[in-house]
Amino acid sequence: MDILLQQIINGLVQGSVYALVALGYTMVYGILGLINFAHGEVVMVGAMVALSITQVLAGYALPPMVVLLISLLVASMVCMALGYGIERIAYRPLRNAPRLAPLITAIGVSIVLQNLAMIIWGRAYHAFPPLLPDSPHIIAGAIINEVQIAIILVAVVMMTGLLLLIHRTRLGRAMRAVAENPAIAALMGVNINAVISITFMLGSALAAVAGIMVAANYGIVHYYMGSILGLKAFTAAVLGGIGNLRGAMLGGVLLGLIESLGAGYIGDLSGGFFGSNYQDVFAFFVLIAVLVLRPSGLLGERVAERA
Amino acid sequence: MKLNHKSSVLLVVLAVVLLFLPFIADALLGRGWVRILDFALLYIMLALGLNIVVGYAGLLDLGYIAFFAVGAYCYALLGSPQFGLHWPFWIVLPLGALLACVFGVLLGAPTLRLRGDYLAIVTLGFGEIVRIFLNNLNAPINITNGPQGINMIDPIRLGTFSLSSEQSLFGLSFPAVHLHYYLFLACTLLVIFISMRLQDSRIGRAWAAIREDEVAATAMGINTRNIKLLAFAMGATFGGAAGGLFAGLQGFVSPESFGLTESIMVLCMVVLGGMGNIKGVVLGGVLLVLLPEALRHGAGPMQQAWFGKTYIDPESLRMLLFGLALIAVMLLRPAGLWPSRQRQRELTEEHEDYDSTR
Amino acid sequence: MSYKNLSLPLLILALAACDKSEAPTAPANSGTVANELIVKIGASSPLTGPQAHIGKDNENGTRMAIEDANAKGITIGSKKVHFELLSEDDQADGKTATIVAQKLVDAKVNGIIGHLNSGTSIPASRIYNDNGIPQISPSATAIKFTAQGFKTAFRVMTNDAQQGKVLGEFAAKNLSAKKIAVVDDRSSYGQGIADEFVKSAQASGAQIVAREYTNDKAVDFTAVLTSIKGKRPDLVFFGGMDPQGAPMVKQLKALGLSAKFMMGDGGYTPKLIENAGAAAEGVYASLPGVPLDKMPGGKDFSQRYEAQFKQPIQLYAPFCYDAVNVMIAAMQRADSAEPAKYLPALAETSYDGVTGKIAFDEKGDLKGGAVTMYQIQQGKWQPLQTIGGSTPAAAH
């Protein structure tokens, strides 16, 4: 029983990691209808910048919480600048281009960021210092540590904050207007370009937070870490219904649970024929099954089709 | 397509160049470049296959490499010591294409209702599922040899004429890579021919119709289900055939070669070159195979020449420049380097809505 | 639309420029004194992508050996030899590896040190064999690499079977593990060594209680480790590399598993200690060969490596160093750098390298192949025992 509980906790933590990244994807998609494929790399840059900051601050004997806050701040700013730049350079000129053009530039941006990061931070895997306390708590035989609790909390807080922002503020209203119909939003006096830039910067700040949480949890960062994380998070966002913030959270947590329960029990369920090597297959089958039954994801309402 | 005098002269020149290209490349740049040409032709076939799905029918497919994998493994399993089977390539190759076609329909069937990005993620998942199965089917029963891959695959052989050993014909000696070049060229021309015929056929127009507006297409009496499945099946068939050729050339296949990045690469070729336009897709394929290789040769020495010193590791710089090139091309030519006329027209019209002075 | 007709020719021009600038590489270097012999050593490993750090380490080891040889001033066929390194990125991809192989063959290399992975060494070996160019892989462990009947394929590394056997016996006998859980990363290397480990451990009387899998890009292993925890093993073996090994052992400890943790040579890196932190203590790993500081010249090698590349040896650099030296020694014995002439001499190698004694069997595998078991003690890799091999003087 404690094994099952442990697997659920594993899934929740992993799922919250996906959700953290998926929120950024889904927010940009919700406003622009564009998959920002470079989002995973922004997450990576966030983690890498934070690593550099912790290295710089290592000599000052500051309390870990202060180091965390400073690195969070700097990483968010760098990522926001990056997000703004990516949108200006790679997406804005293509707003009226064929649908797949921004996809290719996004892939281009990913390749560039990855290789820049490799040049700056080197090829090696780096240890990320333990900034958050990782003392374990035991609940009914299952173990969860404080970083993991923090990840779940941060994911929930971020989702709630974004929902409030979008539904309760002026900026949020402008965002929704742009999402609904950019041309009319512009006629109503919304500065579309500003709104889109802010959306990107916000999404990138989220990416920085996600990057640091991921780095703190696994204690390891690498210039390649963004791509696989981005892919999983994108899957999670689609599962939940891309463009829907609650969907990103739900999709992330579900994907995490599917993976951990799949890896844990698929062997017993299939009489040993399949094992944890089919963990991803299992996850994708669930995704396909969900999408066949609900073609726009669990919570998605808008049919995603643009010319 | 009527040929006037000028374009037929151009065609003849092109044919002559293509005929002697391996010898020219071998003499000027080295034999490595002939192998690169072989890969370029393989990728052109793949890109043309994907072009049917993405360019003609407008269905975004991120798992296309799975069909390439199916074709390659079909060839590898039936023509290697793995099962002790050594079927001739003229049976194995079409069989691989057929199998890929079946997989295409299998993928297409559950995804018919999905659109846009949802379709993209499902096809991506499908591609990964195929790769993961290939990577793990070594236990409990060993079929694919798992991550170790399948080695010692039979070369492409007609009777005693083997493509993997040097042959002399007409007083000229043809090394293995040259021989593969001619076979691949023939296959590519066939794929181009089929693509052209499809484009102008009833089916091609039906694809264009569902690409532009699925609801209107249904209203016009087009059976969207069958037409979509046909697009997946045709695209997959080309992919499967290319896969068989790949296995024959390499003599070794392993699941690593069929990852997501490969799918993305092929998609880049289609989009970068110009979706829906055969010439554009061919150009995209050629460029994206040649560019990283040219940069491999160029990135280090260029720094040497310009700055007198190698500042950045040429290998990091190579992929960096490749990424920048992708961005730059898309910014300068959003519809691709060589877009289809129709698409170009649509684009400029769209611009005129906003700004008629341009 | 004014740039419409411009961009394409520009791009092609840029490409052509790239091609042209390539031309000077070869001739520029060969335009040297008439009485000097240029010998080109090709090397290939992944220099980009997730394994780039280990690939670069390989290149560094190869480079050091070549610089040493040049400094020493070697003569072959009464000519002074200048060795030249041509290093290429194969991206750990089989397809790219064949392109690289062909490129190196075109450049008329006299021999190849590479590739790093089995998945690249195998497809490339066919091209080297067709062109008669000797290839020594410093690190490919798949049994198949030397089982293709190619006369040109050698390795200075034990294969999966040799190493897996030692690991399995060590786990079952020396560590008296009765119940063992095995994880592999589904890469060619990880699966190969894990399968051989299982065979050997079972033959030595241990029971495999769990066989789990991950992949070579994963960072979260809590799910498989949790289900392993339910089986209460004495030891967990991971077939994979250090980027996965470090977080895995951390998560293993965090989940409260008290089992011992063991890896193959993929785990024997300074990064494992750095990245796993306190959790690394007590981890076992193997490395083919004899401990470096027990070998004559070994300590010197590692000190010079650190001085030159500003980092400790990652993994296979000493094997690359030995591979180059074995190749040069064969050239000297044959008194020729021509592949066809020194290849027979290479097959009869008997060389004392920094990793141990190197001699090849008829397939090109390392003969005898000593394997040393290590454990992390007080944050350092400590050799425990050297098993097999024919250099009793170096083992204790």
Query: Does some domain include residue C2?
Result: no
- How many angstroms separate the CA atoms of B38 and B289, rounded? 10
Min distance B132 CA to chain C CA atoms (Å): 9
Residue A305 has a pLDDT of 39
Min distance B229 CA to chain C CA atoms (Å): 31
- What are B5's two structure tokens? 């005098």
Decide if A277 touches C, using CB distance below 8 A. Answer: yes
Q: B140 and A272: CB-CB below 8 Å? A: yes
Decide if A190 touches C, using CB distance below 8 A. Answer: no
Residue B74 has a pLDDT of 96
Strands (E), A215-290: 220-221
Per-residue pLDDT band at B193 (split at 50, 70, 90) = very high
pLDDT digits (tens, 9 = 90+) for C96-131: 899 899 989 988 999 999 899 988 999 999 999 999
Strands (E), chain A: 126-127, 136-139, 142-145, 220-221
Please report residues of C whose CB lies closer than 8 A to that of A11. Answer: 223
Taking residues B208-220, report their average pLDDT. Answer: 89
Tell me what percent of the residues of chain B surpass a pLDDT of 70: 90
Is residue C359 packed enough to be buried (19+ CB in 10 Å), middle (13-18) or exposed (0-12)?
middle
Per-residue pLDDT band at B311 (split at 50, 70, 90) = low
Report the 10 Å Cβ neighbour count for B193: 11
Residue A133 has a pLDDT of 79
Chain C adjacent subunits, 3+ CB pairs under 8 A = A, B
Q: In the predicted model, is pLDDT for residue C338 greater than 80?
A: yes
- What are B309's two structure tokens? 């010193």
Q: Using an 8 Å Cβ cutoff, are C214 and C227 in contact?
A: no
Per-residue pLDDT band at A273 (split at 50, 70, 90) = confident
Q: C106 and B135: CB-CB below 8 Å? A: no
Decide if A280 touches B, using CB distance below 8 A. Answer: yes
Min distance B52 CA to chain C CA atoms (Å): 24
Chain A adjacent subunits, 3+ CB pairs under 8 A = B, C
Determine the Cα angle at C280 with ends A16 and C239, to 5°.
80
Q: Name which of C58, C59, C220 to mutate to probe chain A: the one with the most chain A Cβ atoms within 10 A of its Cβ.
A: C220
Q: C89 and B318: CB-CB below 8 Å? A: yes
Helix-helix angle C160-169:C188-203, to 10 degrees: 40
Query: Does some domain include residue A139?
Result: no
Q: In the predicted model, is pLDDT for residue A215 greater than 50?
A: yes
Residue C50 has a pLDDT of 75
Bridge partners for C350 per DSSP: C359
Query: Does some domain include residue C3?
Result: no
Query: Does some domain include residue A236?
Result: yes
Q: Name which of B142, B272, B316, B321 to mutate to probe chain A: the one with the most chain A Cβ atoms within 10 A of its Cβ.
A: B316
Query: Does some domain include residue A32?
Result: yes
ipTM of the complex: 0.89
Query: Does some domain include residue C97?
Result: yes
Residue B303 has a pLDDT of 67
pLDDT digits (tens, 9 = 90+) for A8-37: 999 999 999 999 999 999 998 888 888 888
Min distance B95 CA to chain C CA atoms (Å): 23
Range of weakest confidence among A284-298, B41-55, B235-249, C364-378? A284-298
What lies within 8 Å, CB to CB, of C239 at 6+ separation is: C182, C183, C184, C185, C189, C190, C191, C192, C193, C194, C195, C197, C263, C264, C266
Per-residue pLDDT band at B139 (split at 50, 70, 90) = confident
Query: Does some domain include residue A299?
Result: no
Query: Does some domain include residue C18?
Result: no
pLDDT digits (tens, 9 = 90+) for A62-109: 888 899 999 999 999 999 999 999 999 999 999 888 878 888 899 899
For residue C183, the SS3 value is strand
Taking residues A124-139, report their average pLDDT. Answer: 86
Is residue B21 packed enough to be buried (19+ CB in 10 Å), middle (13-18) or exposed (0-12)?
middle
Query: Does some domain include residue C393?
Result: no
Residue A50 belongs to what domain range?
A: 2-126+144-293
Q: In the predicted model, is pLDDT for residue B278 greater than 80?
A: yes
Q: Using an 8 Å Cβ cutoff, are B119 and B59 in contact?
A: yes
The total number of residues written for chain A in this structure: 307
Taking residues A118-126, report their average pLDDT. Answer: 88
pLDDT digits (tens, 9 = 90+) for C183-233: 999 988 899 999 999 999 999 999 999 999 999 889 999 999 999 999 999
Q: In the predicted model, is pLDDT for residue A131 greater than 60?
A: yes
The total number of residues written for chain B in this structure: 358
Task: From residue B136, give the alpha-carbon distance in Å to each of A231, B147, B350, C301, C380.
Answer: 21, 7, 49, 41, 36
Pair (C138, C269) in one structural domain: no
Task: Return the CATH number at C147.
Answer: 3.40.50.2300
Q: In the predicted model, is pLDDT for residue B181 greater than 90?
A: yes
Taking residues C306-335, report their average pLDDT. Answer: 94
Q: A111 and B133: CB-CB below 8 Å? A: no
Pair (C57, C168) in one structural domain: no
Residue C15 has a pLDDT of 43
- Give the closest residue to C27 by CA, choosing from C16, C19, C38: C38
Q: Using an 8 Å Cβ cutoff, are A292 and A240 in contact?
A: no
Residue C142 belongs to what domain range?
A: 28-158+297-359
Residue A1 has a pLDDT of 59
Residue C29 has a pLDDT of 44
Task: Return the CATH number at A96.
Answer: 1.10.3470
Looking at the 3D structure of chain A, how many domains does it have? 1
Min distance A33 CA to chain C CA atoms (Å): 27
Decide if B264 touches A, using CB distance below 8 A. Answer: yes
Of the candidates A127, A219, A264, which has its C-beta nearest C227's C-beta?
A: A264
Please report residues of B whose CB lies closer than 8 A to that of C148. Answer: 151-152
Q: In the predicted model, is pLDDT for residue B345 greater than 90?
A: no
Residue C184: closest C-alpha in chain A: A277
Pair (C147, C233) in one structural domain: no
List residues in chain C touching A: CB distance below 8 A.
48-50, 52-53, 55-56, 186, 211-215, 217-220, 222-224, 226-227, 229-230, 242-243, 246-247, 250, 254-256, 271, 274-275, 277, 311, 314
User: DSSP class of residue C48?
Assistant: S
- How many angstroms separate the CA atoms of C208 and B104, rounded? 40
Residue B164: closest C-alpha in chain C: C130
Residue B30 has a pLDDT of 83
Chain B adjacent subunits, 3+ CB pairs under 8 A = A, C
Query: Does some domain include residue C63?
Result: yes
Q: A218 and C230: CB-CB below 8 Å? A: no
pLDDT digits (tens, 9 = 90+) for A155-195: 999 999 999 999 999 999 999 999 988 899 999 999 999 99
Per-residue pLDDT band at A199 (split at 50, 70, 90) = very high
If you compute the radius of gyration of chain C from its CA atoms, what whole number of angstroms results?
22
Decide if A73 touches B, using CB distance below 8 A. Answer: no
Please report residues of A whose CB lies closer than 8 A to that of C53. Answer: 122-125
Determine the Cα angle at B264 with ends A230 and C1, to 5°.
110
Q: C222 and A277: CB-CB below 8 Å? A: no
- The residues in A 137-166 lying below 8 A from C, measured between CB atoms, are 143, 145
Pair (C50, C196) in one structural domain: no
Of the candidates C222, C255, C314, which has its C-beta nearest A260's C-beta?
A: C222
Taking residues A240-251, report their average pLDDT. Answer: 92
Task: From residue A226, give the alpha-carbon distance in Å to each of B43, C9, C201, C305.
Answer: 27, 35, 37, 31
- Cα dihedral B114, B117, B123, B125 sign: negative
pLDDT digits (tens, 9 = 90+) for C246-296: 999 999 999 999 999 999 999 999 989 999 989 999 999 999 888 888 888
Pair (C94, C203) in one structural domain: no
Min distance A144 CA to chain B CA atoms (Å): 31
Q: B324 and A304: CB-CB below 8 Å? A: no
CA C189 from centroid of its chain's CA atoms: 11
What lies within 8 Å, CB to CB, of A241 at 6+ separation is: A247, A251, A296, A297, A298, A299, A300, A301
Pair (C94, C231) in one structural domain: no
pLDDT digits (tens, 9 = 90+) for B150-165: 988 999 987 778 887 8
Tell me what percent of the residues of chain A surpass a pLDDT of 70: 97
Pair (C375, C243) in one structural domain: yes
Mean pLDDT over the full length of chain B: 87
Query: Does some domain include residue C19?
Result: no
Residue B291: closest C-alpha in chain C: C15
Q: Using an 8 Å Cβ cutoff, are C309 and C270 in contact?
A: no
Query: Does some domain include residue C333?
Result: yes
Residue A256: closest C-alpha in chain C: C223
Looking at the 3D structure of chain C, how many domains does it have? 2
Pair (C47, C189) in one structural domain: no
Of the candidates C1, C94, C102, which has its C-beta nearest B256's C-beta?
A: C94
Pair (C118, C183) in one structural domain: no
Residue B137: closest C-alpha in chain A: A274
Taking residues C318-331, report their average pLDDT. Answer: 95
Per-residue pLDDT band at C48 (split at 50, 70, 90) = confident
- Give the closest residue to B63 by CA, choosing from A281, C134, A174, C234: A281
Q: In the predicted model, is pLDDT for residue A132 greater than 70?
A: yes
Pair (C208, C260) in one structural domain: yes
Pair (C37, C154) in one structural domain: yes
Query: Does some domain include residue A91?
Result: yes
Decide if A115 touches B, using CB distance below 8 A. Answer: yes
Min distance C314 CA to chain A CA atoms (Å): 10
- How many angstroms separate the CA atoms of B304 and B317, rounded? 13
Q: In the predicted model, is pLDDT for residue B358 greater than 60?
A: no
Q: In the predicted model, is pLDDT for residue B318 greater than 80?
A: no
Q: A264 and C224: CB-CB below 8 Å? A: yes
Q: Using an 8 Å Cβ cutoff, are A216 and A199 in contact?
A: no
Query: Does some domain include residue A132?
Result: no
Min distance A284 CA to chain B CA atoms (Å): 5
